[in-house]
Amino acid sequence: MVPRTRSHLRQPRGFTLLLALGVVAVVTMAVMLSFSVVGREADSQADTRRQKQAFFAAEAGLAEGREAVRIIMDTNLGATLVLKDALGRDRVELPGMGSANYPWFELLPGDGVDGWNDYSITTDSLDAAEYAGIDDYPEQKNVRYRVFVRDDVESDDLFGTDSNRQLWVISVGEVTNANGRPTRAVVQALVTNSNTESIFTPGCISKGCGPDMNYVNVTDTGTPGTAVITLP
């Protein structure tokens, strides 16, 4: 029997190759998506770290600024305190930092760029025991802060002259970023200076009696009652 040639047999059309290319494309997209998710997570963690660094730098500047204000107030004991004269410098002229009628002043001008105080931590500034000889110690070179002072709202509306011995201290912490905008944190505190002695004690003194416990004072001239109270 003579075999017949079937011309209608299906010819190979490369289906396996197309299937392989599809699998490669899906895997490539999955890998790229994973890289994107990991990159966003890394950026989020880095931004959180920079926010904490900026906040801690601002807190450090605020602590230093409060002490500077205390020294200024203790040095100038007059009825009024002219901030320009006490600090020896004019008001700052920066966007959002006060105005001509409501001035802000640089409290702690630094030696860095534009008056910033560098808040760096390097192995040169640390003792060898502090970083335990780590070769790849994570140095901090991009953190800085600025500290400003302004008068609070008083009845005289003279915001460049303090008359109630209260000043606002504003500290700005910043972490610079070579690949984007800096991260900033701002903290402020109202500093009050008082040279009078404050006494807090329980018992008779806190209720108005004198130091000899006899109620002879201008606050309360009445003597304790003599009624007998019987407790069950």
pLDDT along the chain (232 residues), means of 10: 55 71 86 77 80 92 91 84 86 82 88 85 78 75 91 76 88 87 90 62 54 54 63 56
pLDDT of residue 61: 93
User: Tell me, what DSSP letter sits at residue 5?
Assistant: P
Place of tokens 């880095």: 46
Q: Are 53 and 177 in contact (CB under 8 A)?
A: no
Which of 177, 116, 117, 114 minimizes the C-alpha distance to 142?
177
Q: Kindly report the pTM of this predicted structure.
A: 0.64
What gap in Å lies between CA 134 and CA 124, rounded to an integer?
Answer: 13
The answer for 170, left when phi > 0, alpha when psi is -120 to 50, beta otherwise, is beta
Q: Which residues of 5-24 are buried (b: 16+ CB within 10 A; e: fewer)?
A: eeeeeeeeeeeeeeeeeeee
